[in-house]
């Protein structure tokens, strides 16, 4: 997901999308997952030189990625789309001087109650044993950069360091997430619910547990190819208008409904509930796994109490 917080910020992206040829390239790649430059040039009836300029523009904007793959006649450059959504905020942006931001590793949860399949791993190895929930209590979990379970929840305690005599006006939480299937399955829906301070914010259905022939951009080489490779970057926002994921409203719950107390931590829970229609698990990706080099990122916008 690309998150654009102002029209000026998105200018280069808009220019990249203002081309019929580049839109054709994106549509072809979405239909075929990955294609070589030669295949694209043939299908579009373009020279390799002309195609290279379009590919460079799309790559600079973060819409596609390219990689070299050895072929019988030398190296072949493969292209693939790496974004699933573009979220554009056209409302006047919040005052960025009044924001507290922090990153939390996926293993730094404060509470959990989960069911296998489950596990954790850091950038170099699996932590403990696969499908043994006891290792969710192991101290090594704090360094985990990927974590998965089938049912239950993990809960994080976010610091609330907003200055005194100020109130939180918006909470933004972004994270890379997918379902959890045995192995991988791109069509494996899971109803994932989000809670803040014990109040259910809403639910989002993950479409699958992604991997197979497409590897995560940051997933370590030692990680098995038939295990979770990457997720979708989601942006959860709670403000005065309601609760949103990627700009789409998932509930009417507003920031005022949360009764947030000055200086008290925010308890954020990610869960697959017992009564969910699709119990398909959760996988969370940190900096060294998946397609986005980030942990769970929390931003608290605030303003003085009047």
- CATH at 230: 2.60.120.260
CA atoms of 43 and 262, how far apart (whole Å): 59
> Whose CA is closest to 236, among 266, 275, 280, 263?
266
170 and 240 belong to one structural domain: yes
Output the pLDDT for position 284. Answer: 98
Last residue of a domain, one of 15, 49, 81: 81
Measured CA to CA, the distance from residue 20 to residue 22 in angstroms comes to 6
**Residue among 139, 110, 134 at smallest CA distance from 122:** 139
Same domain, 184 and 291: yes
Same domain, 63 and 150: no
149 lies in the same domain as 198:
yes
Q: Is 58 in the same domain as 112? A: no
Least confident interval from 80-84, 95-99, 227-231: 95-99
Shared domain for 44 and 176, answered yes or no, is no
Please check whether residues 66 and 141 belong to one and the same domain. Answer: no
Give the integer Cα–Cα distance in Å for 122 and 285: 10
pTM confidence score: 0.78
- Residue-wise pLDDT tens digits, 112-167: 999 999 999 999 999 999 999 999 999 999 999 999 999 999 999 999 999 999 99
Question: Minimal CA–CA distance to 166: which of 100, 250, 121, 73?
Answer: 100
What is the average pLDDT score of the chain?
A: 91
120-to-42, 140, 214 alpha-carbon distances in Å? 44, 9, 21
| 132 and 232 co-located in one domain | yes
Do residues 217 and 149 share a domain? yes
169 has a pLDDT exceeding 50: yes
Task: Tell me what pLDDT residue 214 has.
Answer: 81
- Domain span holding position 21: 2-81
**Residue 71 sits in the same domain as residue 101:** no
CA dihedral over 125, 185, 149, 64, signed as positive or negative = positive
Mark whether 64 and 172 lie in a shared domain. no
Residue 190 sits in the same domain as residue 233: yes
CATH number of the domain bearing residue 65: 1.10.10.10
Q: Exposed/middle/buried for 27, CB within 10 Å: 0-12, 13-18, 19+? A: exposed
Structural domain total, the chain: 2
Distance between CA atoms of 246 and 269, rounded to whole angstroms?
18
Phi first, then psi, for residue 180 (nearest 5°) are -135, 105
* Residue finishing a domain among 47, 81, 115: 81
């Amino acid at each position: 997901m690309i998150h654009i917080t102002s029209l000026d910020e998105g200018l280069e992206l808009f220019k990249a999308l203002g081309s019929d040829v580049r839109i054709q390239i994106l549509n072809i790649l979405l239909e075929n997952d990955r294609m070589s430059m030669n295949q694209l040039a043939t299908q579009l009836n373009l020279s390799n030189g002309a195609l290279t300029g379009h590919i460079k523009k799309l790559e600079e904007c973060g819409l596609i990625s390219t990689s070299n793959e050895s072929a019988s006649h030398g190296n072949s450059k493969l292209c693939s789309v790496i974004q699933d959504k573009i979220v554009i905020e056209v409302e006047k942006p919040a005052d960025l001087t009044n924001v507290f931001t922090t990153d939390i590793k996926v293993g730094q949860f404060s509470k959990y109650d989960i069911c296998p399949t489950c596990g954790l791993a850091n950038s170099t190895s699996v932590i403990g044993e696969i499908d043994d929930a006891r290792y969710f209590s192991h101290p090594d979990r704090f360094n985990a950069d990927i974590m998965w379970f089938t049912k239950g929840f993990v809960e994080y305690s976010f610091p609330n360091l907003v200055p005194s005599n100020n109130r939180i006006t918006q909470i933004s939480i972004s994270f890379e997430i997918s379902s959890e299937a045995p192995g991988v399955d791109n069509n494996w829906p899971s109803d994932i619910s989000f809670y803040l301070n014990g109040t259910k914010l809403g639910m989002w259905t993950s479409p699958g547990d992604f991997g197979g022939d497409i590897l995560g951009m940051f997933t370590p080489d030692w990680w098995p190819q038939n295990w979770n490779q990457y997720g979708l970057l989601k942006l959860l926002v709670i403000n005065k208008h309601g609760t949103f994921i990627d700009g789409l409203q998932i509930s009417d719950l507003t920031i005022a409904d949360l009764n947030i107390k000055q200086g008290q931590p925010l308890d954020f829970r990610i869960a697959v509930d017992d009564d969910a229609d699709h119990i398909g698990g959760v996988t969370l990706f940190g900096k060294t796994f998946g397609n986005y080099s980030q942990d769970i990122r929390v931003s608290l916008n605030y303003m003085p109490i009047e």
